[in-house]
Chain A
Amino acid sequence: MLNTTPLNALHRAAGAKMVDFGGWEMPVNYGSQIEEHHAVRRDAGMFDVSHMLAIDLRGDGARRFLSYALANNVDKLAAPGKALYSCLLRPDGGVLDDLIAYFIREDAFRLVVNAGTADKDVEWVESLSRERAPRLVLVPRRDLAMIAVQGPRARERVWSALPQTREATEALKPFVAVQIGDYFLARTGYTGEDGFEVTLPATRAAELWDALAGAGVRRCGLGARDTLRLEAGMNLYGQDMDESVDPLESGLAWTVDLSGARDFVGKAALLSKPRLRTLVGLILVDKGGVLRGHQRVQTARGDGVVTSGTFSPTLGASIALARVPAGVAPGENVHVAIRGKLLAARVVKPPFVRNGKILVEP
């Protein structure tokens, strides 16, 4: 029996093709995935991301606890509402999950975690907090829904659907959130475009979804979400990193704060291990196929593997993230094994696309 979000009936009514995504029945597209992709790059699209889980941490010592639990440093969160992207690591440095931490108040933080790892995350954070911060209370918020509205016109369309949120969010900076009545609006996303991720009571989700559709926001499925995040050079947990790799060989060194005396789960392991691999972007140069996960990559320094690959609608070419031997650098040529042929690809530094603009040479 699959889990369903509060918007399930609306997806079906809109003709969505539904798939099993990590135990959740989710829309993969509502017709054309490529048109949904372009809508987000050029105008505005919305995604039901209610399968993701918000976990509220309440009580004294929340910051001190997260400072130990997360690889990125929550001390960077100075102003209420500020968000931080971080990995949750195992003691051996393996990536348990990637998440966004929001600083609400000194005694209230929120973590938003992936659907497929949510149960494991709750269990891990609970066991860690019993040990380090026994008075901290963890509240998994399955009573909430999440709608991501993304694209150059996303914010104005949210303001048209929720006029009461306009004044408080017009000057909201990227990676900052604010609670306005029932609505928690964060200027965050997973597409490389501007927009809001709106967290709200599950009971109000259908009403907002309909209002956004009425304001001209296109319904988009997880298919377009995947091509958009890959163009934006953003990792997908379970494909580009998991428990068997550490963040430093997953293109996530920028999210790990190794400075100073702060200790955190996984730090000792990260400091002691040599860096043998690195995550890079690839653009397929030869015709003859599409880059996909698990394809073998031949480089001058040894073999690697494609972790995520797709056809990029914005570039009109196939792109990928690949884990290759350390030292493979942007500009180099590599070969990817696709159906028994070795096709030429070029190493690039992600992102491929941000804010509607192509950032790599095609």
Chain B
Amino acid sequence: MNVPSELKYTESHEWIRTESDGNLAVGITDHAQQAHGDLVFIELPAVGRTLQAGEACAVVESVKAASDIYAPVAGVVVAANDEIAAAPEKVNADPYGSWLFKLKPSDPAAPEKLLDAPAYAKVAGDD
């Protein structure tokens, strides 16, 4: 299982990368894409939508089932990755290179409270 040390994580298997402008790129982890299997459909939040922490805001569907993706922290959606929505299989091939949406956090310090890589590796290992 691949868990890059420079990223933050949630217990619901999203990864979060803080960009140089302070926005957060959000994707699903390697563990999550393996559990889902081949992804065939992704629904992304509209740019400009305001999200609460933990709010269901995107959907990934594999051949097997649909799963919600949750906002890791509160904020506003500033970008949605339409390229990934058009080619969901890229998430299986490169989960950490495939961000789904970007969020401007309402509290710039909020990401610090998310799981670090060792803590997430434990969550995913127990899953």
Contact between B37 and A33, CB atoms less than 8 A apart:
yes
Contact between A289 and B38, CB atoms less than 8 A apart:
no
Residues of A within 8 A of B61 (CB): 289-290, 311
Contact between A223 and B66, CB atoms less than 8 A apart:
no
Please measure, in the bound complex, the distance between the C-alpha atom of A34 and the C-alpha atom of B36, giving whole angstroms. Answer: 12
Residues of A within 8 A of B66 (CB): 289-290, 292, 339
Please measure, in the bound complex, the distance between the C-alpha atom of A223 and the C-alpha atom of B41, giving whole angstroms. Answer: 17
Residues of B within 8 A of A29 (CB): 37
Please measure, in the bound complex, the distance between the C-alpha atom of A318 and the C-alpha atom of B37, giving whole angstroms. Answer: 16
Please judge, given known A-B contacts A223-B63, A223-B64, whether A289 and B43 are in contact too, CB under 8 Å: yes
Interface residues as binary, B9-51 with A (CB distance below 8 Å gives 1, 0 otherwise): 0000000000000000000000000000110110100000000
Interface residues as binary, A297-321 with B (CB distance below 8 Å gives 1, 0 otherwise): 0000000000000110100001000
Range for the number of chain A residues in contact with chain B: 10 to 19
The reply to whether the CB of A327 lies closer than 8 angstroms to some CB of chain B is no
The reply to whether the CB of A227 lies closer than 8 angstroms to some CB of chain B is yes
**Total CB contacts across the A-B interface at under 8 A:** 42
The reply to whether the CB of B59 lies closer than 8 angstroms to some CB of chain A is yes
The reply to whether the CB of A288 lies closer than 8 angstroms to some CB of chain B is yes
Contact between A32 and B41, CB atoms less than 8 A apart:
no
Q: Number of residues in B with C-beta < 8 Å to the partner?
A: 13
Contact between A33 and B38, CB atoms less than 8 A apart:
yes
Please measure, in the bound complex, the distance between the C-alpha atom of A288 and the C-alpha atom of B41, giving whole angstroms. Answer: 8
Interface residues as binary, A30-52 with B (CB distance below 8 Å gives 1, 0 otherwise): 00111000000000000000000
Residues of B within 8 A of A227 (CB): 63
What distance in Å separates the Cβ of B57 from its nearest Cβ neighbour in chain A?
Answer: 12
Contact between A288 and B43, CB atoms less than 8 A apart:
yes
Please measure, in the bound complex, the distance between the C-alpha atom of A17 and the C-alpha atom of B38, giving whole angstroms. Answer: 13
When the two chains form the complex, which single residue of B43, B59, B63 contacts A311, counting CB atoms closer than 8 Å?
B63
- Can you list 7 A-B pairs, Cβ within 8 angstroms, ordered by A? A17-B37, A32-B38, A32-B92, A227-B63, A289-B41, A311-B61, A318-B41
